[in-house]
Amino acid sequence: MVYLRLVPYRLQSLAAHSYHKLLPKFYGPYEILEKLGPVAYKLQLPTGCKIHPVFHVYCLKKHLGTHVTPSLTLPRITEYGIVQDEPLAILERKLVKRGNAAGVDVPVHWKGHTPEDATWEDYHDLQARFPEFIAQVEAAFNSR
């Protein structure tokens, strides 16, 4: 069993965020199906995954320990091969000052992560990236 490093994809997609160093670098663990060469391995990835299953050893990290629970999901991959996590919930809202203007930041609970791993996101950036999710959140908020 090995963990899969998706940092090369993540760095392209999240370079503008100041917290990219705090994001998870490995996903898994996943089972090794076969060794294809001295530095290439084929992994058993979840069905429907849009990532090629063969990886260089640089992208893998050996799982240590006896208890193994394989991961059944991977983060969503865009058509450009960029990792994009899916939001589950907005936990609260707060007004922040950005220069001479006011903005709204929200802590987002991401799919596949615990609520303690929520990250603060700019509301308008989140609205541009996930318009359907924001529409659902606003509809639920307005129905209260």
Q: Given pLDDT bands bounded at 50, 70 and 90, which one contains residue 82?
A: low
> Is pLDDT of 110 > 60?
yes
Of 133, 52, 123, nearest to 85 by C-alpha is 133
Per the prediction, the chain carries an average pLDDT of: 78
Check pLDDT > 70 for residue 65: yes
Residue 69 pLDDT:
62
Angle 23-80-138 from CA coordinates, rounded to 5°: 65
**Three-class SS state of 45:** coil
101 has a pLDDT exceeding 50: yes
High-pLDDT (> 70) share of the chain, %: 74
* Bond before 29 cis per omega within 30 degrees: yes
CB-CB contact of 106 with 123 (8 Å): yes
Residue 43: predicted pLDDT = 93
Report whether CATH 2.40.50 matches the domain 87-142.
Answer: yes
Q: How confident is the model at residue 35 (pLDDT cuts 50, 70, 90)?
A: very high
CB of 126 closer than 8 Å to CB of 87: yes
Residues of the chain with CATH 2.40.50: 87-142
Mean pLDDT of 1-22: 58
Give the count of beta carbons closer than 10 Å to the beta carbon of residue 28.
Answer: 21
HSE on the CB side for 23, CA within 13 Å?
Answer: 23
